Amino acid sequence: MPRGRIRARLRRSSLYTFGCLRPTTSDEVPHPLQGPGYSRTVYCNQPLIHEKRYLFYCKNRISTTKYNAVTFFPKALFEQFRRVANIYFLLAACLSASPISPLSPLSMIAPLVFVVGLSMAKEALEDSRRFVQDVKVNHRKARLHRGDGVFGLRSWQKIMVGDVVKVEKDQFFPADLFLLSSSYEDGICYVETMNLDGETNLKVKRSLEATSSLDNDGAFKDFSGTIRCEDPNPNLYTFIGNFEYGRQVYPLDPSQILLRDSKLRNTDYVYGVVIFTGHDSKVMQNSTKSPSKRSTVEKKMDYIIYTLFTVLILISFISSIGFVAKTKYQSTKWWYLQPKNIESQYDPAKIGLAGMSHLITALILYGYLIPISLYVSIELVKVLQARFINQDIQMYDEETGTPADARTSNLNEELGQVDTILSDKTGTLTCNQMDFLKCSIAGTAYGVRSSEVELAAAQQMASDEEQDLDLSSFPMKKKSKVRSGNVREGEEVELESVVTSKGDEDRRPAIKGFGFEDYRLMNGNWLKEPKSDVLLMFFRILAVCHTAIPELNEETGSCTYEAESPDEGAFLVAAREFGFEFYRRTQSSVVIRERFFASGKVVEREYKILNILDFTSQRKRMSVVVRDEEGSIILLCKGADSIIFDRLSKDGKMYLEATTKHLNEYGEAGLRTLALAYRKLDDQEYSDWNNEFQKAKTAVGPDREAMLENVSDIMERELLLVGATAVEDKLQKGVPQCIDKLAQAGLKIWVLTGDKMETAINIGFACSLLRQGMKQICISTMNSDSVTIPGKEVIKDDILNQITNASQMIKVEKDPHAAVALIIDGKTLTYALEDDIKHHFLGLAVNCASVICCRVSPKQKALVTRLVKEGTGKTTLAIGDGANDVGMIQEADIGVGISGVEGMQAVMASDFSIAQFRFLERLLVVHGHWCYKRIAQMICYFFYKNIAFGLTIFYFEAFAGFSGQSVYDDWYMILFNVVLTSLPVISLGVFEQDVPSEVCLQFPALYQQGPKNLFFDWYRILGWMGNGLYSSLVIFFLVIIIFYDQSFRSNGQTADMAAVGTTMFTCIIWAVNSQIALTMCHFTWIQHLFVWGSIITWYLFLILYGMLSPTYSKTAYQIFVEVLAPAPIYWLTTLLVTFTCILPYLAHISFQRCFNPMDHHIIQEIKYYKKDVEDQRMWTRERSKARHETKIGFTVRVEAKIRQLKVKLQKKQSPSHS
């Protein structure tokens, strides 16, 4: 590895001022580690010591499963019997074994075992996927010191505290490590923490000087030391400990700690000692246990069961009281009961026992009020719904070959009730790819290529037909004349359009990181520009002001760059394409190849690096001081425009106005911007400053950072503005359009990211969660790392005051179009999530159009999710793609994992997984809407049919002296839920569509039927129950009235109980299946087969059952062929009862559609009469109405632009009218 050896000679610490350089001297004071929370002792290179009882630490094996082999049966059974209906049927199954049961034990036990067993098997299957992923992680290999300076491979799960581990480039750290040394001479290494905090820019870590010489395997033959540090905790950004080595004690801080699941980058290898293993590691401390989730509909179903159970107990008591009265006062007169042989449950002398016995009998007999088959049907329907989600070709990602995956089917209907989406940023909304797109130099804007935000906004404007502006034919990036119908001829307003042809949409930069297009700067044409000297300085700042390392590709001869951040890499690629290639870095200089295209010459120019003032989130800028080949000393600076503009000299503001205008345009286009400036220094000025700088750099003590910042601030003033860059943080395909559609569907969107505030705000603009003119409320606090308890109370009071003032500002806002965004960072969030503030914070957040939380840890993501879920009481959905998102994915009501570049941890913890964020639109607006309505209608119908059936048994009891006699044959009762009414309701749950999928997307406001719970509120539930009560009364009493004293047979005999019961059951089958046919909006051949096939199946069963010997068929022998079919009264009664049963529902739905239609009713009428084809204007008008009022998204941004345009039109018109 010759290249590795060359790079190893670089002392990388010389490149950094603030980030990692810590002067290590004998004067450093070790941390005082006394009191609770600092009890951990690690003996380096002596792992077996930790096997002793008093030092026993957890293994490195991890488990993210909900169950294990021991806990599966007790926990899974507990989950099943959280369903109150299952508890009832368990008791009923036990009681059915007694002699007083009216039904056989098998008919009660078998359905319960089937339901519970099926659900437990599904749980086991879903949890096994997590188990397989855990096994893969635990069996990863790492190099461990085996002794005598020899390293060998060992699985992660066998790593122990105290082990010395060697991790190589692009490998994950297997545990939390203390960094001993690296392939670089001074112990520097680069770490990517994307799995922890979502950030893509690399973090710099540095070992202690005392251990940096341990840079080969043999050096660890006799190595030993002791680490005393804090106990396991979830704080990712803090660490306190001491390292005892060579009779000295060295203080440790987070810059020496390498966290599990972060990755080694740009460094050939590092050595480290294991401090925390397995569930003690910080990433696992940030994780939460896999929760058991139940949907809102399922929880509400429990209350319906309670209601029905109350009704069941009530009618059972009524039946028992009636039975006691009959037994005590009338049974003694019934000579046929043979009083001498009477059983105890009918004995008038033991009336209390008789009453209790009959109560048990009644509870079992009327159990059909509570449908056990409902759970089986719902489980089956949800599995089939999940299969349709998995097979949806519209959610299949062709690039990766990844389909959607409903990993759990328990929450399908919850997808249709989401109120708030909490999204990660990096890898979820963005692709982690930066493209240099535009720039402003010397007050001139360069770059004609449109950003994705501009393209999508322009397409939205072009297709916005309800406006009277025709924007559809604009060429790219030309000033087009827009004529309004309200403007007189000759009055025109210029509007910049970025609508491109279809071919332009799919174009991608040929060079990764470079999407710039403008002939004025390419191929050396910049030399012809009027201010070429300023352009030259701009390109040189891009090429020199950074800390990247070039790597020469020997095959192509060009350089690739290992930069700390994607932005920096994009700047270097841009500089190379402009002709200024960063080619080589030495210990003290950088070499740039400057290509002047006119002459064809390539000149190597060397710049000596005198100082680097690196970027931090507090400074928001980065500077280098260089000496060029002419001997001039120049400070080159790049940073946030707000910071740079405040540091400009009077002469340096020449291009300030124009640059500010361009920066606003770039921000509106969703681009990330930086301002570039420079300052020339004379030798004496630099020498005096450098002396102060070196003093600050080598200072020891808590004031060192402040001293460095003050000295740097002195130099970074009196700057000359050169221009600004605009880089596009590539959004994932379709993200802006998806967010726009979700916003129109009424969903609130929060972004929770580990990135710094500036990055998150830029992405907010890119996604249209933020826009120009939107008020931004930034809740922030002072640096609170070492604040005392009284000081923390002051900070909390300050935060509460900021929240109160912001809430008051929103209340007094009168502009209906005004929108407010809330932005808060992780440190402030620590206080905002405390019990006495969190509800104030939530109250402010829910009143804001969008919320962005920056620099948040995985634990904070989960806590924010919990606050929103519990504080609002509404359904939350969390979506992310990394291990740092697992906590919020598990905490939310619904967790969605994106199978992206950050591994599969998020997917394994999720309930649903998709390949791209844009598929969330279809998952919610289409499948969520359908699943919610299907499940809601299915459950309501289930209770309707079981009430209609079960109450007829009760009515007959009253007619039969409360004897416990059923009017129906046992087989009728078994087949009612299992065969004769099960398939139609399953087809309703699987195939029902109120509107097609494309209409769901065109009318996103339809989605609000779910969050508003229009189809499963108590009004609708009680309505269906009332319908069941009405049907039971009609069926029983009409049949009894018709058959009571009418001759039924040809010889004048009346119908017996078997004929009445079978007729009554026939009416039930016809009524409930006709009712479901009226309920369905969308019919396929499957629904027709199941609905009408169920009715035919009933008649076939009667024929076949009647053919059996009377030993088996009993009173049903030949009942259809010989008794019912020849009797016209049987057929007429069936017809009359069925029509009477469905008449109220038919009248209700007709009245509703005519006088108070719901949204989907109107759409169905339009589609039925083909008005969507014949009257496009009306169809478009209806579509515009079907947008939920929102203040985020492209549509709102377009409407804001149109309002601005109208204002301009009015201003142009007013002078002419005057």
DSSP secondary-structure letter at 251? E
Contact 417, 930 (CB under 8 A): no
The residue type at 22:
R
Q: Which ranges of 175-287 does DSSP label H, i.e. alpha helix? A: 194-197, 282-285
Taking every pair of C-alpha atoms in the chain, what is the biggest distance, in angstroms? 130
Cα distances from 1038 to residues 802, 948, 1049, 1133, in angstroms, run 70, 14, 19, 8
1159 is catalytic: no
Backbone angles phi, psi at 1046, to 5 degrees: -95, 140
Pairing state of beta strands 894-898 and 720-731? unpaired
The residue type at 207:
S
Residue 508, token pair as written in the block:
């991608």
DSSP symbols for 626-659: EE-TTS-EEEEEEE-HHHHHTTB-SGGGTTHHHH
Residue 591, token pair as written in the block:
């070499």
DSSP secondary-structure letter at 926? I
Q: From the candidates 261, 424, 885, 1172, give the one annotated as an active-site residue.
A: 424
DSSP secondary-structure letter at 1122? I
Cα distances from 671 to residues 156, 197, 438, 462, 656, in angstroms, run 42, 22, 9, 22, 19
DSSP secondary-structure letter at 742? H
DSSP symbols for 1085-1108: HHHHHHHHHHHHHHHHHHHHHHHS
For residue 1215, give every residue at least 6 positions away whose Cβ sits within 8 Å of its Cβ, in sequence order, or none.
Answer: none
Contact 526, 532 (CB under 8 A): yes
Nearest Cα neighbor of 685 from 717, 647, 648, 715 is 715
For residue 1103, give every residue at least 6 positions away whose Cβ sits within 8 Å of its Cβ, in sequence order, or none.
Answer: 1120, 1121
Q: Which residues of 1132-1152 are buried (b: 16+ CB within 10 A; e: fewer)?
A: ebbeebbebbbeebeeeeeee
Kindly provide the residue ranges of all beta strands, DSSP E only, lying in 655-794, ordered along the sequence. 672-681, 720-731, 748-752, 775-779
Residue 568, token pair as written in the block:
């920096």
Q: Which residues of 566-584 are buried (b: 16+ CB within 10 A; e: fewer)?
A: bbbbbbbbbbbbbbbbbbb
Backbone angles phi, psi at 454, to 5 degrees: -65, -45
Give the separation between CA 728 and CA 433, rounded to whole angstroms: 8
Backbone angles phi, psi at 247, to 5 degrees: 65, 15
Q: Based on DSSP, count helices (H) and strands (E) in the chain, helices before strands.
A: 39, 35
Give the separation between CA 426 and CA 198, rounded to whole angstroms: 6
Cα distances from 382 to residues 371, 394, 883, in angstroms, run 17, 20, 28
Give the separation between CA 271 and CA 144, rounded to whole angstroms: 10
What residues act catalytically? 424
